[in-house]
Amino acid sequence: MVILILGATSAIARSVAEQYAGAGHPIVLGARDIEAAEAVAADIQIRFEVDTWAKQFDALDTESHADFVADIEAEAGAIDVVLLAFGDMGDQEESERDFAQAKRVIDINYTGAASLAEAVASRMSERGEGSIIGISSVAGDRGRKSNYFYGSAKGAFSLYLQGLRNRLSEHGVHVMTAKLGFVDTRMTFGMETPIPIASPDAVGKAIMRAQQAGVEVLYYPHFWRGVMGIIKAIPEKVFKRLSI
């Protein structure tokens, strides 16, 4: 079973790669920083004794995505599971001052993710099997002033995955949306959070278990489902006066 992991140098992606490699699956790692991806691939190959490939991948270069997927399948074989783990929170205040920065956040988190998912989905639907895992965020469940460009892109990506799941269900392809809360990564480095931060290792294990169980929407840590249920239920007149 070939596993394609994009955004492969992130802590979450690396943890997921280790879970599947530990189960004996060959791993293809795609990242913008090819040298970092090659280092991760070499490490996994040595420790888990599985075949690995490192490929340069640019989420913003959407015109290359179809060929990128075709080249991987020609070299490594049909992709059975793809994890879309790339993303960029950006800087909210910078995005408010310069829409080019906001567009970059939107394009990485939504446009690039949807483009790559489509390139894989068409191949999986023809084969009648496969699993697409998209990492979204609880930030996409309700817009907040502190990160509404990032949150809106993740919210759009969650809706996209919902529609893709609806489309591909009759073709035997599983689509999972992983809505993550705070995770101990570069993205949250230095952040003061009122809620405990999950470890990348725990997230990686949870994602693999959920994919194998056919889960469609995963909140992790699981208490975020309840937290976001409460936050979404707050009336707009009240919510706009809050700083959460």
Point out the residues that are catalytic: 150
For residue 177, list its beta bridge partners.
Answer: 134, 217
b/e code 195-230 from CB counts within 10 Å (16+ = b): eeebebbebbbbbbebbeeebebbbbbeebbeebee
Q: What are phi and psi of 165, to 5 degrees?
A: -60, -40
Cα–Cα distance measured from residue 134 to residue 84, given in angstroms and rounded to the nearest whole number? 5
The pair of three-digit structure tokens given for residue 241, joined into one six-digit string: 């006066």
Q: Is 118 within 8 Å of 163 (Cβ atoms)? A: no
Q: What are phi and psi of 128, to 5 degrees?
A: 75, 30
DSSP letter for 183, please. B
Cα–Cα distance measured from residue 189 to residue 89, given in angstroms and rounded to the nearest whole number? 12
